[in-house]
Amino acid sequence: MMRFAIGIDIGGTKMLAALGDERGNLLAEMACSTHNVHGGEAGVTELVEAVAVKAGLRPQDAAAIGVGAPGPMDLATGTLLNPPNLGWGTVPIRQLILDRFGVPTMLTNDCKAAGYGEFRFGAGRGTQNMVYLGIGTGIGGCVIIGGQVYVGATGNAGEIGHTVIALDGPLCGCGARGCLEALASGSALGRLGQEAAATSGGQLLALVNGDVKAITGAHVAQAAAQGDPVAQGVFNYAIRGLGAGVGNVMNAFGPERVVLGGGVVAKNGSGYVKRVEEATQGFTLRGCGVPVVAAELGERSGVLGALAHAWEQARTHK
């Protein structure tokens, strides 16, 4: 029988599973709702079971299982600490899977899984040093140094979304002001768009029939692309913020390239990534500027990264 591992990516709306070998060749993939009829955490073990059955294998025979999930989490025990995006409460996910299947399991932050997936199988292939930013509802980061995900002494390093770009800037969900996430995430675009439209009007209001509260990041991107100056002001500010944030990352870590993924990048495409790359030029020291590229694996970067993490786990348990 071939050796296989399983990766699981738990998102706010759906969960993905991938079963494959050490080189990322997949035998089976599955997706299901995060809020399925059996309740979230039971759904995780069911999904593990289902993807194995689909490949004609038994989950008990997996070399390892890797799980990526939104934080906060206790990495040492593999426990989800009531992530607000899931509404599952506190779930000892590693123990749950270990008890059920007896397979070594590791839990990681969803954005670190996505970054690792891009590093191994996507836009970061061939590098040893890479930084990934996932730009969606929030902004997550994954720093890879010497081929390894850098987590620091605390296990939490790489939170690039919470580096401060603008002192006294907009309030962030973390409680600080002016974080990159508070300037340039999808939800920041929506919130800053609402504020700008409320004072300056413009095409944004027309897109939502005057309902300011209905303005989202997608509306801001759309109105900006159509030439609305109010939306362009918000969008350009976010791009400059990303230029500063990504430029800081280049200066601090010296990666070979920076990979941008997440929903905002998927929606706005390569032109957006190019603009972020250009914006870094005002913030990088001489010799520190490197290419900024778009993620290549789409919504599968997280599940493929979880699979790669599972293989790491299998190697350390040999």
Residue 48, C-beta contacts closer than 8 angstroms, at least 6 positions apart: 6, 8, 17, 59, 65, 97, 100, 101
Is residue 2 within the footprint of Zn ion (CB under 5 A)? no
* Count of C-beta atoms within a 10 Å radius of residue 75: 17
* Shortest Å distance, C-beta 167 to Zn ion: 13
The kind and range of the H/E element at 127 are none
Q: Is the peptide bond before 92 cis (omega within 30 degrees of 0)?
A: no
Q: Which stretch binds Zn ion (CB under 5 A): 177-185, 201-209, 248-256, 266-274?
A: 177-185
CA separation, residue 284 to residues 65, 96, 248 (Å)? 39, 45, 7
Q: Which stretch binds Zn ion (CB under 5 A): 102-110, 169-177, 202-210, 277-285?
A: 169-177
Q: How many residues bind Zn ion (CB under 5 A)?
A: 5
Q: Which is nearer to Zn ion, 59 or 134 (CB)?
A: 134
Using CB under 5 A, pick the residue from 55, 65, 131, 172 that binds Zn ion: 172
Q: Which stretch binds Zn ion (CB under 5 A): 64-72, 98-106, 117-125, 171-179?
A: 171-179
Is residue 294 within the footprint of Zn ion (CB under 5 A)? no
Q: Which stretch binds Zn ion (CB under 5 A): 59-67, 84-92, 176-184, 207-215?
A: 176-184
Q: Which is nearer to Zn ion, 117 or 190 (CB)?
A: 190
* Shortest Å distance, C-beta 223 to Zn ion: 26
The residues in 194-223 that bind Zn ion, with binding defined as CB under 5 A, are none
Q: Which stretch binds Zn ion (CB under 5 A): 173-181, 192-200, 276-284, 304-312?
A: 173-181
Residue 12, C-beta contacts closer than 8 angstroms, at least 6 positions apart: 34, 70, 85, 86, 137
* Shortest Å distance, C-beta 160 to Zn ion: 10
**Token representation of residue 252:** 């601090």
Q: Which is nearer to Zn ion, 175 or 227 (CB)?
A: 175
Is there a contact between 24 and 121 (Cβ–Cβ < 8 Å)? yes
* Shortest Å distance, C-beta 172 to Zn ion: 3
Is residue 180 within the footprint of Zn ion (CB under 5 A)? no
Is there a contact between 2 and 21 (Cβ–Cβ < 8 Å)? yes
226 burial level (CB within 10 Å; 0-12, 13-18, 19+): exposed
Q: Which is nearer to Zn ion, 174 or 206 (CB)?
A: 174
Is residue 10 within the footprint of Zn ion (CB under 5 A)? no
Is residue 133 within the footprint of Zn ion (CB under 5 A)? no
From 242, 237, 186, 236, select the one nearest 216 (Cα to Cα): 186
Using CB under 5 A, pick the residue from 94, 112, 120, 162 that binds Zn ion: 162
**Token representation of residue 75:** 């990495």
Is there a contact between 113 and 300 (Cβ–Cβ < 8 Å)? no
Is residue 179 within the footprint of Zn ion (CB under 5 A)? yes
Q: How far apart are CA 113 and CA 208, in angstroms?
A: 35
| Torsion sign over Cα 71, 300, 133, 309 | positive
* Shortest Å distance, C-beta 170 to Zn ion: 10
Using CB under 5 A, pick the residue from 2, 42, 174, 206 that binds Zn ion: 174
Q: Which is nearer to Zn ion, 182 or 293 (CB)?
A: 182
Q: What residues make contact with Zn ion under the rule CB under 5 A?
A: 162, 172, 174, 176, 179
